[in-house]
Amino acid sequence: MRQWIDTAVLIALSGCLLGLLLPWLSAVLVRHGLQSGLGEPGTAAWLIDLAAHWQQLFAVGWIALLVLWCAIGESPRLQWLPLLAVAGLIWLSASPALPTARAAGPSPGTASLRIVVANVNVANRDPGRLIAWLRQHPGDVLVVPELNPAYAEALAAALTDLPHHSLHPMTGSAFGIGVYARMPLRDVVLAPDDDGIPALGATVDLDGRPVRVVAVHPMPPIASRWHGARDRLLHALASGAHPALGPDRNLPRLLAGDLNATPWSSALHLAADGGLRRATGLRGTWPAHWGGYLGIPIDHVLGSAEWQVVSTRQGPDIGSDHAPIHVELRLSPGQP
């Protein structure tokens, strides 16, 4: 009986180890497809990428099973315990993050921007909880995926500190989107894809320096086709080849929204290849229940090389299946 248990635990450990290696395999497959002009990544790449999202689950499984393996032997197998460190692969396999700002206060020539992402859920009609949280943790720019008309109107009336907005709500569709801002929005571009899913770009002036903000909410990768569309969208936005970037594609840029991609996905690795790195962490934002600790991080802010991260916080329950995120970034000195 013990031999059967040992075999089962070793097989499960092998599965967890394979799961922890999937982000690298997923990124390699998709990069190869792009470089070779193969087009769609294919079923294998899609399924591998789906599985790669659940790195926390593989890490927890590895730790629990390794402890069990050490405990069930006739004598303690303590020599295996150092392998607990393998669970740390989830930090190594995540897409690269932006650097953290070193100084607590603003440095000469720098400017800070607070950006909030809140997927409010298309069925949600009550913005009260989001508004209350924003009053405690105000932002300079608010990106709202899954925006419906009633919610859009209520936010515009309540958020008097964010008087400038470009709103494209939808009824009965999860792909309405809007941007609210403290400063004026210019060069606004709404660029829908072939399926009518929009990317919304606008330029804001941050202490006299123009910055491009792009709000996106790609289709979830529930099929190989959508997996490829999501990856191509983020790759185009990172490499400067998307119309939502506006007339000047060399501006410091921020990409924000429900990206339907975790830090271990091929999409965020492709974005990092093009120069857009994460300002957000590894804590789950969907589903938002139980503080996100049993979820996956798919709501993000990505920034170009000019940005440093001052702080990142996750918000409370706002009546959505997503948790909102609040990120403060610092723009390095540059020519206005």
Can you spell out the DSSP letters for 221-258? Answer: -SSHHHHHHHHHHHHHHHHT--GGG-S-TTS-EEEEEE
Mind listing the pLDDT tens digit for each residue in 57-82?
Answer: 999 999 999 999 888 876 677 788 89
The domain boundary residue, chosen from 58, 92, 126: 92
* Pairing relationship of beta strands 325-331 and 277-278 according to DSSP bridges: unpaired
- The pLDDT of residue 40 is 59
- Classify each residue of 281-303 as buried b or exposed e, where b means 16 or more C-beta atoms within 10 Å of its C-beta: bbbbbbebeeebeebbbbbbbbb
Give the pLDDT mean for 296-323. Answer: 96
What average pLDDT is seen over the chain?
Answer: 91
Domain-embedded: residue 98: no
Query: Are residues 177 and 60 part of one domain?
Result: no
Domain-embedded: residue 106: no
Give the pLDDT mean for 172-188. Answer: 96
Query: Are residues 220 and 319 part of one domain?
Result: yes
Question: Higher-confidence residue: 77 or 137?
Answer: 137
Query: Are residues 185 and 130 part of one domain?
Result: yes
Q: What are phi and psi of 226, to 5 degrees?
A: -70, -35
Sheet holding 307-314, edge to edge: 164-168, 177-181, 141-145, 111-117, 325-331, 307-314
Give the range of the structural domain holding residue 253, as residue numbers without chain letter.
111-331
Residue 321 has pLDDT above 90, yes or no: yes
Domains in the chain, number:
2
- The pLDDT of residue 96 is 96
CB atoms within 10 A of CB 157: 10
Give the pLDDT mean for 177-199. Answer: 96
Band of the pLDDT at 334, cuts 50, 70, 90? low
Domain-embedded: residue 67: yes
Residue 336 has pLDDT above 80, yes or no: no
- pTM (predicted TM-score): 0.92
Query: Are residues 170 and 85 part of one domain?
Result: no
Query: Are residues 294 and 223 part of one domain?
Result: yes
